[in-house]
Amino acid sequence: MTVWTPVALARDIEPGTATGTTVDGDSVALWRGTDGTVHAWADRCPHRGMRLSFGFVRENRLVCLYHGWQFDGAGACRHVPAHPRMEPPKTVKPQQYRAIESAGLVWVAPTDAGGTPDVPGTAITPVRSVWIDGDRDTALSLLGLEGTGALVTGALDGTDVIAGIQTIDAHTTAVHVVAAGIVPADTVNALVHRLHEFRDSVSSVREAVAS
């Protein structure tokens, strides 16, 4: 995994929810406890390998859907329903990543990663995440943006935007877009509509070629 990959808009990971994503080919579970802290773990329960992103959040624990094992924010197993009086082994922990929020995005990195993502120090307005059928170059060209890092800037229909670029696989790129500054709801809605048009235009071309 490369250092500091943007994986979602922060507002889209709501307290008490879990979801899955893919970073550099690795499946990652994202979840946020009711205390507001976001976590990123390998999407595999250390018990039987069930996807943790299929589980649910109870207070500040992620509960595996398969056998109900509960893990706290530090990854420690705190409860095994089949053996409620047993003290769970301390060695049973999911693989963890660093997860922080910056510039309105959730960022994930290996636990030994230092520092924080290099982001503009400006106010932002969340817009939308879209998944585009194409590689990074296709996504940037489509949106009229340029850049080599995980974060690119530019203008979309006259509005300055910041976009986190996440490679899902060789054929899919997620683009997490925020507007630079505080912009009105009408502008956000117009940007969302435009992003959907871009996304759908690539899908329509692929469907036409396939047919």
Helix/strand/coil for 110:
strand
Beta bridge partners of 193: none
Say whether pLDDT at 7 is over 90.
Answer: yes
Would you give the end-to-end CA distance of the chain in angstroms? 36
Closest CA to 195 of 9, 28, 29, 19: 9
Within this chain, do residues 69 and 9 fall inside the same structural domain, yes or no?
yes
Within this chain, do residues 193 and 98 fall inside the same structural domain, yes or no?
no
Whether 35 maps to a domain, the answer reads yes
Within this chain, do residues 53 and 141 fall inside the same structural domain, yes or no?
no
Within this chain, do residues 37 and 106 fall inside the same structural domain, yes or no?
yes
Whether 169 maps to a domain, the answer reads yes
Element containing residue 210 per DSSP (H, E):
helix 185-210
Could you read off the pLDDT of 103-144 as tens digits, one per residue? 999 999 998 888 889 898 889 999 999 999 999 999 999 999
Q: What angle do CA 89, 91, 88 make, to 5 degrees?
A: 15
d(CA 139, CA 35): 35
The mean pLDDT of 171-189, rounded to a whole number, is: 96
**pTM for the whole thing?**
0.90
Within this chain, do residues 51 and 86 fall inside the same structural domain, yes or no?
yes
Domain holding 147, by residue range, is: 124-210
Whether 119 maps to a domain, the answer reads no
Q: Which two tokens stand for residue 77?
A: 């197993």
Whether 115 maps to a domain, the answer reads no
Within this chain, do residues 63 and 29 fall inside the same structural domain, yes or no?
yes
DSSP output for 23-43: ETTEEEEEEE-TTS-EEEEES
Q: Which of 87, 110, 133 is the last residue of a domain?
A: 110
Could you read off the pLDDT of 71-114 as tens digits, one per residue? 999 999 998 887 877 788 888 899 999 999 999 999 999 988 88
Between 170 and 188, name the one with better pLDDT. 188
Whether 52 maps to a domain, the answer reads yes
d(CA 73, CA 79): 13
Q: 150: domain CATH number? A: 3.30.70
Q: Which of 64, 82, 110 is the last residue of a domain?
A: 110
Within this chain, do residues 9 and 93 fall inside the same structural domain, yes or no?
yes
**Longest CA pairwise span in the chain (Å):** 61
Say whether pLDDT at 210 is over 50.
Answer: no
Whether 179 maps to a domain, the answer reads yes
Beta bridge partners of 135: none
Whether 86 maps to a domain, the answer reads yes
Q: In what order do the strands lie in the sheet with 5-9?
A: 5-9, 105-110, 96-102, 38-42, 26-32, 17-23
Whether 118 maps to a domain, the answer reads no
CB burial class (10 A; 0-12, 13-18, 19+) of residue 181? exposed
d(CA 55, CA 66): 8
Overall domain count for the chain: 2
Question: What's the full length of the chain, in residues?
Answer: 211
d(CA 108, CA 8): 10
